[in-house]
Structure 1
Amino acid sequence: MAEEEELEAERNSDRRHLSRSDFPPNFVFGVATSAYQIEGASGEGGRGASIWDDFSRVEGRIVDGSNGDVAVDHYHRYEEDIDLIAKLGFDAYRFSISWSRIYPDGLGTQINMEGITYYNKLIDALVKKGIQPYATLYHWDLPLHLHNSMGGWLSKQIINWFATYAETCFANFGDRVKNWITINEPLQTAVNGYGIGIFAPGRCEHSNTEPYLVAHHQLLAHAAAVSVYRKKYRDHQGGQIGLVVDCEWAEAYSQKTEDKEAAARRLDFQLGWYLDPIYYGDYPKVMREKLGDRLPEFSEEDIELLRNSVDFVGLNHYTTRFIAHASESPEESDFYKAQQMKRIEKGEGGETIGEKAASEWLYVVPWGIRKVLNYIVQRYNNPPIYVTENGIAKGWELLLLI
């Protein structure tokens, strides 16, 4: 009952205007972007092609046929954009580095100095304005050559190539970048990129195996990059490094045990898939039970590499859903079917879980983020957490804050 009263008080407080005075003085407000979505200049500055360059040109993949060739032209207009960030009063800017701007073919054999120069200028401009740079090494835009030549995230070779790329970034930018993120939302790459096929590289032919192999290699690539940073750069650069996971809160549809268990499974398949190996050395037990040998095994060396390989957990959270048990899941994707659950738009009393936002998948549920944060605190022994993305779609706008 106490929790329900607390949530109701929070709902009421959300209706009044918030200001900075409602937050601690050291609270960091920021904005977040990704390279392919904003940079443009796809053929300039020595940049190589990424899987999103290729994917966006396949007819029918993008509803309006658009691509990131120009985007908002951040590559040329970054100084104007940083001025806007400063004028809005934000403290931090979370951006991603394009792997193919650093190594056009993805391989750590020939560094592109034009790319190094560009990101140096970007970081310098942020520092000059007093804005903290938060750098994401991978936000879905894999160099196309790595995909075409070795299968991208399907190949174990990518672990070493990612670590090499990461080290180049640490060496060139780590004197000013003190907050590093290895991979953004690896679940989305694994499931939507290699399971459902709605994200680059658009694979869905082997959806019952490939997403789990991709996730496995992403975890090990993350851990390899963290190992390099901690061994060679952290002590003298004084930074920290983490992983960003995404999670919708799973609210049990009813008080029935089967619905509560379905909601718990949903969280294991979202958060546990990536955080359990880091904190506990293996995938969640329920994933092992449901997926069997489709879920790769970790060697003892892998387990040691992964152990506590985050200085912080980055959380991207947008909405909350009612989750109910389903023996025969209505979901098409193997990843969702294995969870034996269904996502329900309305509760037992016919109420929606929150106000419907402009995006069809998004409900406004302020109390959901508190539940996710408390869940991470309790399950993973209170790690430092940064909310690296959250927001609400109103009209055509989606506000992203870190």
Structure 2
Amino acid sequence: MSFGKNFLWGTSFAANQIEGAYNEDGKGLSVQDALPNGALGNIDLELKEFNIKRRAIDFYHRYKDDIELLKQMNINVLRISIAWSRLFPKGDEKSANQSGIEYYLRLFKELRKNKIKTIVTLCHYETPLFLATKYNGFSNKLVVDFFLNYTRVVLENFGPYIDYLVAFNEINSLLHIPFCNAAILKNQSGLGTLYQAAHNMLYASAKVKEMIKQNYSHIKVGSMVLAMPFYTKSAKVDDQLIKMEKEWQNLYFTDVLARGSYPKYLDKYFNDNDIKINKTKEELEVIKNNTVDYIGFSYYMSRMIDSEADNNSKENLLGGVENPYLEKNKWGWNIDADGLRIALNQYYDRYQKPCFIVENGLGYDDKIVELDGKKVIHDDYRIDFHKKHIKALHQAIEDGVEIIGYTTWAGIDVVSNTKAQMSKRYGFIYVDLDDNGKGTLERIKKDSFEFYKEVCMTNGQNCLK
């Protein structure tokens, strides 16, 4: 069985990790401006520390050249986000910043000219900072109203250029990085606050689907969650029970988005932890009637559970213990292509909705070498990573999973979200910029560029030989 003729091959970006131009043309500050050391670092509300995202890779001024490079790679879809604070600098204004609208119109028209479909993320870890400091982010229902006003402006201006859409990036990471994800300040966070914000964002997602269903029916709306399959270190019952509970925490977001109701296991969790959520009958009705069209997710790694260990450690990004059977990169992220196949089967079996892998990639400290006077980057490790994951993707299709497409993270090197580093590189195209913000911003094709170009040209067949 081959990939279908309409299978989408592409790549992904987030505005805050590529655009730069953080204070140009009326743009306001976002939570990213207060995260100089990444999502897992400190919150700098005084904005005193150096923040490489303010410059990033200058996509704001170079988008035409960068889109040309991506087109050379033969991608047919690009996942991008819109910087909310570029349209609404503080987030709670009634009318939008016209300069921001004009910029994104130019960007969408350039993509259309190059026959590249779009997956648009409305909020990719970039809520306006003002909404955090004044309203405590999405824990406040007023912020839902501001978000829906922003969504309305996006659809009115860019709707014809959008093919696929997700409301929030990795919505389930809210429980781990609440400021980055939902603009919730640390000193105000508690379980009740987090789950109230989660409900508000789930409701907002359903309202977005409702708006699109009524007026922009060509747009397919999906979830976007962080997929991370769990393994147990042993066959002990305690390990299996912890695995079950961890999976519930991760899956409840997609349960609500895809099934349209809250699962019973969450009621038990709320009762056990004395969590009370303000959710109205009207909100629950909107959620019930506006489920997603597809299950979109990012996949980077799996996790392993050990009932006798500290499963809240930062090993492997979001906890768990080290899996001795898997390789890992220098940041401790394991490499597990089979985990992608497992995740795809899990989601499809659970929801019977098509899946879309909208982020998958390998962070690595790539090195430039000179060869016959030319700068080259040999990244066979990245080629191997994607080849194995595309094979796993194909195996899932043979298992019977319906899959829309695959977009890598990221086509061009970007500032990493977790650490705010350039040295953690994901792209097929190198950007001359170091962790201190120094460099020419020159773009250099890596060896993996030609590999992924062939993936797109052969509809993935080069990975199946």
Which residue is equivalent to 2:153? 168
Let me know the Cα RMSD of the aligned residues: 3.0
State yes or no: 1:285 paired with 2:265.
Answer: yes
Alignment of structure 1 residues 16-165 onto 2, 5 Å: 23-56=3-36, 65-165=50-150
* Residue 98 to residue 167, structure 1, CA distance change in 2 (3 Å): same
Which amino acid in 1 is paired with 2:10?
G
Alignment partners' CA distance in 2, 1:262 and 1:342: 13
Which residue is equivalent to 1:207? 190
Could you tell me whether the CA contact under 8 Å between 1:51 and 1:201 is conserved in 2?
no
Alignment partners' CA distance in 1, 2:149 and 2:182: 25
Which of 254, 263, 267 does residue 234 from structure 2 map onto?
Answer: 254
Which residue is equivalent to 1:386? 356
| 1:69, distance to aligned residue in structure 2 (A) | 1.3
Could you tell me whether the CA contact under 8 Å between 2:129 and 2:183 is conserved in 1?
no
Could you tell me whether the CA contact under 8 Å between 1:116 and 1:172 is conserved in 2?
yes
State yes or no: 1:365 paired with 2:346.
Answer: no
Which of 272, 275, 294 does residue 275 from structure 2 map onto?
Answer: 294
Aligned residues: 362
Alignment partners' CA distance in 1, 2:68 and 2:24: 23
Which amino acid in 2 is paired with 1:374?
N
Which residue is equivalent to 2:287? 306
| 1:253, distance to aligned residue in structure 2 (A) | 2.1
| 1:258, distance to aligned residue in structure 2 (A) | 2.6
| 1:117, distance to aligned residue in structure 2 (A) | 0.6
Which amino acid in 1 is paired with 2:197?
V
Q: Secondary structure at the match of 1:374?
A: helix
Q: Secondary structure at the match of 1:157?
A: helix
* Residue 66 to residue 149, structure 1, CA distance change in 2 (3 Å): closer
Could you tell me whether the CA contact under 8 Å between 2:212 and 2:219 is conserved in 1?
no
State yes or no: 1:225 paired with 2:208.
Answer: yes
| 1:127, distance to aligned residue in structure 2 (A) | 0.9
State yes or no: 1:344 paired with 2:321.
Answer: yes
Alignment partners' CA distance in 2, 1:304 and 1:278: 14
* Residue 149 to residue 281, structure 1, CA distance change in 2 (3 Å): same
Q: Secondary structure at the match of 1:398?
A: coil
Alignment partners' CA distance in 2, 1:262 and 1:287: 18
| 1:200, distance to aligned residue in structure 2 (A) | 6.0
Give TM-score, length-normalised by structure 2. 0.71
* Residue 213 to residue 77, structure 1, CA distance change in 2 (3 Å): same
State yes or no: 1:397 paired with 2:414.
Answer: no
Which of 138, 147, 166 does residue 181 from structure 1 map onto?
Answer: 166
| 1:166, distance to aligned residue in structure 2 (A) | 0.6
Q: What residue ranges of structure 1 are gaps of 5+ in the alignment?
A: 1-20, 347-351
* Residue 91 to residue 342, structure 1, CA distance change in 2 (3 Å): closer
* Residue 304 to residue 205, structure 1, CA distance change in 2 (3 Å): closer
Could you tell me whether the CA contact under 8 Å between 2:313 and 2:319 is conserved in 1?
no
| 1:95, distance to aligned residue in structure 2 (A) | 0.6
| 1:170, distance to aligned residue in structure 2 (A) | 0.8
* Residue 148 to residue 198, structure 1, CA distance change in 2 (3 Å): closer
| 1:207, distance to aligned residue in structure 2 (A) | 3.4
Alignment partners' CA distance in 2, 1:356 and 1:189: 25
Name the stretch that deviates more: 264-273 or 278-287: 278-287
Which amino acid in 2 is paired with 1:292?
N
| 1:261, distance to aligned residue in structure 2 (A) | 2.4
| 1:133, distance to aligned residue in structure 2 (A) | 1.5
Query: Higher RCO, 1 or 2 (CA under 8 Å, sep at least 6)?
Result: 2
Could you tell me whether the CA contact under 8 Å between 2:76 and 2:116 is conserved in 1?
yes
Alignment partners' CA distance in 2, 1:60 and 1:261: 33
Which of 313, 331, 355 does residue 312 from structure 2 map onto?
Answer: 331
Which residue is equivalent to 2:443? none
Which amino acid in 2 is paired with 1:302?
E
Percent identity (aligned): 26
* Residue 73 to residue 191, structure 1, CA distance change in 2 (3 Å): same
Over residues 226-279 of structure 1, what are the superposed CA-to-partner deviations in whole Å (9 max), with x where a residue is unaligned? 211212322xxx221122011211012222333222222211111223433641
Over residues 317-337 of structure 1, what are the superposed CA-to-partner deviations in whole Å (9 max), with x where a residue is unaligned? 1101221335x855279xx9x
Give TM-score, length-normalised by structure 1. 0.81
* Residue 277 to residue 135, structure 1, CA distance change in 2 (3 Å): closer
